A and B are shown apart, each in its own frame.
Chain A
Amino acid sequence: MEQITLSNQIVQYVFTGITVGSIYALVALGFNIIYNATEVINLAQGEFVMLGGLIMVFFITTLNLPLVVGFILTVLVVTAIGALFERLAIYPLEGASVLTLIIITIAASIFIQGLAMGIWGKDPYDLPAFSGRTPISFLGAMIQPQYLWILGITIVVVILLNLFFGRTMVGKAMAACADNPEAASLVGINVRMMVLFSFALSAAIGSIAGIVITPVSLMEFDRGPMLAIKGFAAAVLGGLGSFGGAVFAGFLLGVIESLFAGLVHSGFKDAAGLIVLLIVLFIRPSGLFGSTEVTKIKKF
Chain B
Amino acid sequence: MKQDHKILIFFFIALAAFPIIAHYIEGIQHYIDIMIFVGIFSLITIGLSLLMGYAGQVSLGHAAFFGIGAYTSAVLTGKYGFNPWIGFLVGIILTAAIAYVVGIPSLKLKGHYLAMATLAFGIIIFIVFNEWDTMTAGPSGFSDIPGISIGGYNLDSDIKYYGFVWTIVVLCLLFSINVIHSRIGRALRSIHGSEDAANAMGVNTSKYKLQIFVISAVYASIAGSLYAHYMNFISPSSFSLFFSIKLLIMVILGGGMANIWGAVLGTWTLMLLGAEWLHFLEEFEFLVYGAVLLLMTIFLPRGLIGLVEFLVSGRNKGAY
Contact = CB atoms under 8 A, between A and B. Distances in A.
Interface stretch (B2-10, B83-91, B121-129): B121-129
B249 to A, nearest CB: 8
Contact of B112 (A41, A114, A233, A270): A41
A110 B117 contact: no
A188 interface: no
Main secondary structure of the interface of B (DSSP, over half): helix
Contact of B298 (A104, A111, A265): A104
Contacts, number: 126
B200 to A, nearest CB: 17
Interface in B110-149: 110-113, 115-117, 119-121, 123-124, 127-128, 130-131
A300 B56 CA distance: 14
B111 A89 contact: no
A292 B167 CA distance: 49
A232 B130 CA distance: 23
Interface stretch (A133-141, A200-208, A272-280): A272-280
Contacts of A103: 248, 252, 293, 297
B52 A111 contact: no
Contact of B52 (A99, A106, A285): A99
B12 interface: no
B317 to A, nearest CB: 18
A117 B58 contact: no
B209 to A, nearest CB: 14
A99 B111 contact: yes
A300 B119 CA distance: 16
B68 to A, nearest CB: 15
Interface centre among A104, A107, A225 (most CB of B within 10 A): A107
A267 B120 CA distance: 16
A183 interface: no
Interface residues of B, number: 42
B109 A278 contact: no
B286 A111 contact: yes
Interface string A264-300: 0101101100110110011001000000000000011
A132 B298 CA distance: 47
Interface centre among A111, A229, A285 (most CB of B within 10 A): A111
Contacts of A270: 123, 127
Contacts of B308: none
Interface of A: 41, 43, 89, 92-93, 98-100, 102-104, 106-115, 117-118, 225-226, 229, 232-233, 236, 265, 267-268, 270-271, 274-275, 277-278, 281-282, 285, 299-300
Task: Pick the 5 closest A-B CB pairs, nearest first.
Answer: A114-B287, A111-B290, A114-B286, A107-B293, A110-B290
5 contacts: A93-B297, A104-B298, A110-B287, A271-B123, A277-B117
